[in-house]
Each structure stands twice: as C-alpha cells, then as structure tokens.
Structure 1
Amino acid sequence: MDPLADEEEAIVATVRAFVDRDVRPVVRELEHGDVYPERLIERMKGLGVFGLAVPRAYGGVAVSAPCFARVTEELARGWMSLAGAMGGHSVVATLLARFGTPGQRARYLPRMATGEIRAAMALTEPGGGSDLQAITTTARRDGEDYVVDGTKTWISNARRAGVIALLCKTDPAATPPHAGIGILLAEHGEGLAVSRDLSKLGYKGVETCELSFAGYRAPRAALLGGEEGQGFTQMMKGLEIGRIQVAARALGVARAALDDSLAYAQQRESFGKPIWRHQSVGNQLADMATRYSAARQLVLHAARCYDSGRRSDLEAGMAKLFASETAMEIALSAVRVHGGYGYSTEFDVERYFRDAPLMIVGEGTNEIQRNVIAAQLVARGGLPR
C-alpha cells in the first residue's frame, strides 16, 4: 500500500466502505439494465469525490495523485462506470486549476467541487481517434465569439455535463498543426446537440454520446487560459493524470476479478477438494495476484512522478498500458476459474470481462501508448538508472 497522509487514508477508506455498502449490492441490476446510477452519483457528490482534483481555495480537496488513483481503484472495484463518471470530470478540473483564467476557475471550480455541475472532455472525432492533431472541429473567430462546427464522438457524461472541454482548431492552417489547437469550455445550448447515444459492450449506466456542433457560439472568454494555440499542450498535460486514472480503473476491475476468483476457488469443490488446491487453478490465482500487484506498483509510481512536477507521460503511458492489459488477462483468468459460471450473468465475472477492454482502447489506445513510451525513451536517453 502506498503510504498516504491520515486525511487521505480516511478518504480512501470512506470510498471503500461506500463501495462495499452501497455499490456492490445493486451494481448487477443497474448494469444489466443499463440504468444511470443517479442515487450512487448523489452519494459520490456527498462524499466529495467530484472535488478530489479541485483546489481547496475553490471548495475541493485536491488530494495527491496516489490518493486519487486509489480512490479511482476502489470505485472501479465496485463498478467501473462510477470511476468513469468522475474521470473526465477530474481531468477538466485539473486543466482549469492549472491553465484556467481567474474568471474561468471562479465560474466552474466551486460548482465542480460539489458535483453541482460535472464536466466532460470532447476530444475524439468519428474520422480519427488518438491522432488529436488531425481533428477537424473548427472554432472560427466572429467578433467577440467563436463559432464552432464539427462532430465529437465517444464522449462520456455528454448529456449531463455542465461544461465540456472541447478540443478544436482555432487556426486550421497553423504549422505545425498543434499550434492551431485550443480548448473551449463549452456549455449546452443552441448549436450543440447530442446527436446519438452509442451502444457499448460494457461501461454501462453512464452515457457515451456523439456531439454535433453546428454554428455553436462560445464567447472568447471560454477559451481555456485565454491564449490561442495552447490547447494541445494543455490537453497533453491533462491526459497524464487522465491516463493514470484509466490505469487505476483497470486496477479496480482486476482487483474485483481477483477477489471474486479467490473466494470462489475456496468455496467450489471438485474431486473432493476446493478447486484452488488443483494446480491448474492455483497457478491461475498466483499469476493473477502477481500481475495485479505489479500493475499497482507501476500505477502508484506514475502517480508519484506526476506529483513531483516532472513530465510524466512516459510513466503514465507505461502504467496505462500495463494495467489495462493486466486487467484483461485477469478478467479472462477469472472466467476460467469460475468455469461455466464465469459465462453466466448471475455472476459479476462476465461484467469484468466486458468492462476491461475499455481501458485498452480508451484515453489513447495502447498502440499509441507504445509509441509515446518509445519516443520518450529515445528523448530521455533510456530509463533512469
């Protein structure tokens, strides 16, 4: 366990108790019905979960990155969708705290801390995913406004977001392309429509939508930081904590799959003994626990690097890559340990198996993570000794 201050340990313990008491008893019914978890979200607001990335000056808690990762893991252990509900929100809070103008911080952060409004990120487009420099959504200047046209897809929390961090091109002709990218703090209104909801294999309950911008107008004051051409750099910094958060979600899914498998293997008997005593099952459990422990240490290492203030895209990329692949392996192993019951909707194992792939493709695919890692290894002259 990564040592935290007493206050942060108390926060993690509180969220753990919430998951065990309020989430796990109802998650199967909510998930299978694809029901938005209104009551659980309200409880999360009351616990201060949506203020974990908001500075204290604006009513938040602003915990350390290791604490943030551990809270995320606990939420995902109960239901990965709950961790997703606070993921993009926390990245936007981080962007506002780090890059926002005084007016932007005052407008949004106090209400984000309480969960009165929740935030979403709008990066991905139908014609491209991880190549953010190739986005086609434009925001052209028109007097004191920006006029936005374009489409974003795979946007979590899109319908219920009070503010959307919209990545767009304020100068499509800029060279290099990233120099013409900005982030607009968009709010629902005329010219912005939720064009459709996307059906998903897992990650149920929380909405994932396509957003269409057609002549949408945002004031110039909505540009994050107030200076054009900074959006790509701003978002890359935000995605460092975003990828740590996704990695921590993977840890939560992996931990739930491991815990369920360990309990089942002690209860289930075959050939006159608990199945964990059969070497084939015992080996599965040993490998699952070892991989989870290794992934967890890598995530906490990335979180500590992030808190140091150093550039941490290498460490965050490694954590996201390894933890997500590990979660998928552990979820499959959990199905094997449970046998036929692992394929049954009466057990939670099948949900873990459906939720795990999201972390492999979300917040930058793992193929992109490998590119980032390789580029940073070369730029840094290899790993530190």
Structure 2
Amino acid sequence: MALDQETLDQLLETLHRFVHERLIPHERTVADTDRIPDDIVAEIKELGLFALSIPEEYGGLALNMREEIEVAMVIGEAAPAFRSLFGTNVGIGSQAIVLDGTPEQKEKYLPRLASGDLVGSFCLTEPEAGSDAGSLRTSAVRDGDHYVINGTKRYITNAPYAGLFTVMARTDQGSKDARGVSAFLVEKGTSGLTVGAPEKKMGQQGAPVADVVFDNCRVPAENIIGGVENMGFKTAMKVLDKGRLHISAVCAGLASRMLTDAVRYTKERTQFGNAIADFQLIQAMIADSETEIYAAKSMIRDAALARDRGEDTKRKASCAKLFASEMVGRVADRAVQMYGGAGYIADYGIEQLYRDARLFRIYEGTSQIQQLIIAKDVIASTD
C-alpha cells in the first residue's frame, strides 16, 4: 500500500535534514578513515533506511518504487558511501528473499535485514565473470543435506562487514550459461568462507570492497533461495529493474547536490569585479546541468510509476540507468570546472564527489550493457 502524500513528504523532509545536518558534515571524515562512524550507522538504522523495501510484516517500510526513488534522490545528495551501507538490504539482498524465498528464509533473515542488524552483500562478479554472467565459475555441488561451494568473488561491496552473502553459484556443472546458476544465502562465519582485505579505490571510501573466497564452503541445502536449483538468475532478473531505478535516483540526487554546491561557489567567487555566476559561459554549464538533471528525474519517475503499475520496465530501467549515470558524470565534471582550481583541492569537497560519481557508470550493469539491453529490446519489439 502506498503512503499518503503527507506521510511521504514528512519522511522526505526528515531525511533531507538528516542528510544535510548529519551525513554531509561527515563526508570528509568517512573519506579519510574509509569508515562510517558507528553513531551514524545507528542513526541510519533508527530511520529505517535498511528496511525501505521490505514488507511490513517483517519490520519493513514496504515502500513502492515511486516512493523508494524519491527517498533515493534525497539520500543521494550525500556521498554515495552512506547509501551503499544499506543498499543491498534494500535491493537484491532482501528482494530475492521477498520474491522467491521460502517462508522459513523470510522469517529467518528479513527482520534482521530490515533492522540493519544483518548487513547484506551480493556476490556475483568474479575474476573472469561480471557483465558476462554466463561465464560464472563458482560451483555449488550437492553433498547430502549441504552444498559445497568453491570459487572467488571479486569487488564485493560491503563484504568486510556483511553478515549475509547472497552468492550466485553454478549448480548445473554441464551448463554454459546463466540458466545453470542458483542463489545461496551464506552466513558470515560459515566454514570455508574468507573475506579478503579491502581494496584501495578511486572513490566511495567508506563503502568497502573486497574479494570473497569459498574454499569447500559447506552451506545447508535449505539455504538455496526458494529451495530450487538453477533459479538464481531468474530471481535476480526480477529485481534487476528495481536496483537500476534506485541507482538512477541516487545519481540524480548526487547531481543535484553537486550543482547546488557549484552554483553557491560561483555566486561567491569573483573575477574581473563580478561574481563568476554572472558570466554567460558559467551560466551555460549551470543550464546544461539543470536540464539534464530534470530529464533524468523525469525518466526515473516515469519508469517507477510504470513498475508500480505492473508493467515490464526492463527497457525503461536501462534507459534511466544509462542516462542518469552518464549524466551525473557530466555534471560532476562541470562542477569541478565551475570551481576552477578550487575544484581540484580536497578541502572544497567537489573532487571527492567527482571521484565518487565515476563508479555509477560501471556497477548495476555498465553503460555498455545498458546500451545492449535497450537496443536488443527495441529491435525485438519492432516489426
């Protein structure tokens, strides 16, 4: 059930204050320490951000897609690491269980995912598989009432502090594509599961990424999502559009933040006796950025409403993700340019957001993968 508009507005206003009074002031600390402070984590839990998309009976807020993207746009105004903390719990870490999990799996995991006491992590990418998911090599072999998982997952967000890993592994060893892949719920501390050291990254410090290694990792057979083999990618596809729209909204939020910061700077910075905001070439960058942000938000909202109506939004979600992730990169670049030399200096903050924005064109499906999805769908639907 959708929230009434007054309740949604109150939620967004509360989150807006939280973003600007608590998160943004801590961005530099998070970047320097590569860690979100414990008190901020506690506040994120208290606000229910881990529970956005989880059904109410399991302690969630049960937001629909339209509501979730509005929340994501607000949260997106802060450095992306904050959203990344709860992003998997909102996305595939919970939705795979919500949509296809057994009643026992829902009862066991969803309340703890909703509270944030359990942080989720999604293990798909491998050293030789990512966009080419059909090349997945991690194997899961049935052995009595367990599966034995072997393989390495790479660039796994939240891995160092995750309590629950959603692991994609090949259960049909004779298959050569994604149809032989299953999804498993693997708890932290399971024998044979090892998390590597966090990687040093270009941006998004505070959202740790690491390898996850499975070495004869024995997982109870009851932990295969839905209790059925070879359904992992079918489950993932059901929530893929949702994740892409969520990320698109985060991109739009971050772009809005960077433009606002840059415009404030141009109104304060003077050259040749005038604020540089008065210069037409600066105004052109402002206008181009605002137009693209408006276009992205319009696309995202249209696709979200279509999803809530039950329509197939594969194409629209890919269009939104492609445009929004490329857009936020362009806005970030213009923002640095508007700051001039100050934009290259860490003290002003924009260089951090510039680096943070670069990842959006890669994860949740690269821009090139989105182009292929869009083109193939257009071709298939054209007589």
TM-score range, shorter chain: over 0.9
Whether contact under 8 Å (2:34, 2:208) holds in the other structure is: no
Whether contact under 8 Å (1:249, 1:359) holds in the other structure is: no
In the TM superposition, residue 232 of structure 1 has moved relative to its aligned partner by 0.8
In the TM superposition, residue 38 of structure 1 has moved relative to its aligned partner by 2.5
1:215 counterpart residue number: 216
Q: Tell me the SS of whatever aligns to 1:317.
A: helix
1:70 equivalent to 2:87? Answer: no
Deviates more, 1:330-339 or 1:122-131: 122-131
Q: Structure 2 CA distance, aligned partners of 1:314 and 1:132?
A: 19
In the TM superposition, residue 340 of structure 1 has moved relative to its aligned partner by 0.4
Q: Structure 1 CA distance, aligned partners of 2:164 and 2:292?
A: 38
Q: Structure 2 CA distance, aligned partners of 1:306 and 1:132?
A: 25
Q: Tell me the SS of whatever aligns to 1:357.
A: helix
Q: Structure 2 CA distance, aligned partners of 1:50 and 1:320?
A: 22
Q: Structure 2 CA distance, aligned partners of 1:28 and 1:66?
A: 31
In the TM superposition, residue 259 of structure 1 has moved relative to its aligned partner by 0.6
What is the letter of the counterpart of residue 85 of structure 1? L
2:304 counterpart residue number: 303
1:56 counterpart residue number: 56
Q: Tell me the SS of whatever aligns to 1:159.
A: helix
Cα deviation 1:46-84 (Å, max 9, x = unaligned): 000001011011111111212211222222211211111
Q: Tell me the SS of whatever aligns to 2:196.
A: strand
In the TM superposition, residue 346 of structure 1 has moved relative to its aligned partner by 0.6
1:361 equivalent to 2:362? Answer: yes
In the TM superposition, residue 185 of structure 1 has moved relative to its aligned partner by 0.6
Q: Structure 2 CA distance, aligned partners of 1:308 and 1:221?
A: 33
Q: Structure 1 CA distance, aligned partners of 2:147 and 2:326?
A: 41
1:259 counterpart residue number: 260
1:288 counterpart residue number: 289
In the TM superposition, residue 107 of structure 1 has moved relative to its aligned partner by 0.4
TM-score (norm 1): 0.95
1:150 equivalent to 2:151? Answer: yes
In the TM superposition, residue 17 of structure 1 has moved relative to its aligned partner by 0.9
In the TM superposition, residue 33 of structure 1 has moved relative to its aligned partner by 2.8
In the TM superposition, residue 379 of structure 1 has moved relative to its aligned partner by 2.6
Whether contact under 8 Å (2:140, 2:147) holds in the other structure is: yes
Whether contact under 8 Å (2:51, 2:89) holds in the other structure is: no
Q: Structure 2 CA distance, aligned partners of 1:36 and 1:29?
A: 8
1:312 counterpart residue number: 313
In the TM superposition, residue 11 of structure 1 has moved relative to its aligned partner by 1.8
- Structure 2 runs not aligned, ≥5 long: none
Output aligned runs, 1:83-162, within 5 Å. Answer: 83-91=83-91, 92-162=93-163
1:348 counterpart residue number: 349
Flag the 1:379–1:82 CA change in 2: closer, same or farther, 3 A: same
Cα deviation 1:136-182 (Å, max 9, x = unaligned): 001000001000000101111112222111111111213x6222111
1:43 counterpart residue number: 43
1:187 counterpart residue number: 187
Whether contact under 8 Å (1:193, 1:212) holds in the other structure is: yes
Whether contact under 8 Å (2:86, 2:116) holds in the other structure is: no
Q: Tell me the SS of whatever aligns to 1:336.
A: helix
Q: Tell me the SS of whatever aligns to 1:120.
A: strand
In the TM superposition, residue 4 of structure 1 has moved relative to its aligned partner by 6.4
Q: Tell me the SS of whatever aligns to 1:26.
A: helix
Whether contact under 8 Å (2:85, 2:207) holds in the other structure is: yes
Deviates more, 1:260-269 or 1:135-144: 260-269
Q: Structure 2 CA distance, aligned partners of 1:120 and 1:7?
A: 30
2:10 counterpart residue number: 10
Q: Structure 2 CA distance, aligned partners of 1:52 and 1:59?
A: 10
Whether contact under 8 Å (1:181, 1:231) holds in the other structure is: yes
Whether contact under 8 Å (1:87, 1:245) holds in the other structure is: no
What is the letter of the counterpart of residue 62 of structure 1? A
- CA RMSD, Structure 1 to Structure 2 (Å): 1.5
In the TM superposition, residue 9 of structure 1 has moved relative to its aligned partner by 2.1
Whether contact under 8 Å (2:73, 2:250) holds in the other structure is: yes
Flag the 1:4–1:199 CA change in 2: closer, same or farther, 3 A: farther
2:23 counterpart residue number: 23
Q: Structure 2 CA distance, aligned partners of 1:344 and 1:316?
A: 35
What is the letter of the counterpart of residue 276 of structure 1? A
Whether contact under 8 Å (2:36, 2:82) holds in the other structure is: no
Deviates more, 1:346-355 or 1:83-92: 83-92
In the TM superposition, residue 32 of structure 1 has moved relative to its aligned partner by 2.6
Whether contact under 8 Å (1:4, 1:67) holds in the other structure is: no
What is the letter of the counterpart of residue 64 of structure 2? S
Whether contact under 8 Å (2:89, 2:114) holds in the other structure is: no
Q: Structure 2 CA distance, aligned partners of 1:82 and 1:292?
A: 21
